Amino acid sequence: MTRPYVALLLLSVLLTGCKGETSPQSPTPPSVPPTTYTVSGLVTLANGTPVADALVVVADPSPNPNAGKSTRSAANGSYSLPGLTFAGFSFEIVARGHVDASRGIILTEGKLSEAANFVVTPITPVQFAGLGANTTPYRGHSESGITVTPTRNSWRHIINGVPGPAVAFTAPSAADLTGELTITGPKRPMTFTSVALYSSVSAIPYEITGVRQGATVFNLTGTRPQTFGAFTTVTNPNPAAEIDTLIIRMTNINTQNPMGVDDIRLTY
């Protein structure tokens, strides 16, 4: 056997042996879970009374990483929302019978727990207080998250009501004896309980229509007898019916008779 042949044979053996060997691998580092944050606090009235079952929800839409995350307050008004990503966002507080509240939340990097308290206000009846002097034009307003808009005939402020002030219209001509107010709420359904109506010298023919997404939910019609200038309350027999729009119409008997509205009671 020649030396070149022996050398080739040894080289082949060495190469064959190396094929079965593997280079050492670096160990895989353990995965680190992402850092999450928690916001906690209280939902109360101004006097400190706790508000239970209030929805606490991130109001920002996608692509905010916290979009749609929510929780509800407990019986003592406390809430806690964990699992939040480090980003700026706003909370909205939605509590039945209360005006919505909101505020921005700023997280501090590395501080895993933040506190945010909310004070909500009960919804009150629409009573037209402090809006204008007697006989001045009424062009609409918002209170307790509810918007009232005159949608037929010209309305004005009057000093009487339950309690005063209120709003009223006088038909400008025999061709148009109907006055109309349209009432809308926030971006979720509301319910209607009652309204106070007024006429100076005549009976009160009325029509009250509740609408949701363009469809009529209820339609109350009737005529209240003359009240000699006092207000009379019309109560909804369907107070749990959910609507997004309320339309109040009254029909006058002549062009000189004021007819009025006050104390519109809705909630959401």
Q: Is residue 39 within a helix (H) or strand (E), and if so which, with residue range? A: strand 37-44
Is the confidence at residue 86, as pLDDT, over 50?
yes
Confidence of residue 14 (pLDDT cuts 50, 70, 90): very low
Among residues of the chain, what percentage have pLDDT more than 70?
88
Angle, CA of 91, 34 and 58, to the nearest 5° = 10
User: To the nearest whole number, what is the mean pLDDT of the chain?
Assistant: 90
Domains of the chain and any CATH numbers: 37-122 (2.60.40.1120), 137-267 (2.60.120.260)
76 vs 49: CA distance, rounded Å: 9
Q: Say what the pLDDT of residue 111 is.
A: 95
Whether the predicted pLDDT of 239 surpasses 70 = yes
Its pTM stands at 0.82
pLDDT score, position 9 = 40
pLDDT tens-place string over residues 91-111:
999 999 999 999 999 999 999
Q: What is the mean pLDDT of residues 166-189?
A: 92
**Which band of pLDDT confidence, cut at 50, 70 and 90, is reported for residue 228?**
confident
The span from the CA of 32 to the CA of 263, in Å, is 59
pLDDT, average across residues 146-159: 97
pLDDT of residue 24: 56
* Beta-ladder partners of 115: 40
